[in-house]
Amino acid sequence: MTEVLFYHLTDQRLEQALPGLLERSLERGWRAVVQTGGEERRDALDAHLWTYRDESFLPHGREGDAEGQSVWLTVESDNPNRSQIRFLVDGAEPPADLASYERVVLMFDGHDSDAVSNARVHWKAQKEAGHDLAYWQQEDGRWIKKA
């Protein structure tokens, strides 16, 4: 079964937390796809990943040749770069084929009650589907596994 991780953002915004998680995924030799809830958010993350750190950037794509990209940004549910890990952000709905990934990460804003409620719905659905679930919450800038 796919490992489904829920990341509850409380200390940092998505733009601060996502790059580090993507970097760790790439260090594992995985390809990643980041699915956003809309094109505007996808485009903002696209710009951010090129500039989030002065001394570095995270190579990625959102259009063109997906096969050549280790990180792909999309609003769609497909997997054009054959990723092992999928990040769902900004209310993006999980694709039907979660079993095709080693890991799926659902990141949600802990200060947004709708996002928290939506995450609870997804937790229940993924548990019923038989996936391995884990819940991580930020505390003092670190991720702490809570369940």
pLDDT at res. 64 = 86
Model pTM greater than 0.85? yes
- Residue-wise pLDDT tens digits, 89-134: 999 999 988 989 999 999 999 999 999 999 999 999 999 999 999 9
Encode pLDDT of 51-81 as tens digits. 888 887 888 999 988 999 999 999 999 999 9
Domain boundaries, the chain: 3-145
CATH 3.40.50.10110, domain 3-145, yes or no = yes
Tokens 């990643």 locate to 32
Structure tokens at 94: 């999980």
Q: Give the tens place of pLDDT for each residue, 34-46.
A: 999 999 999 999 9
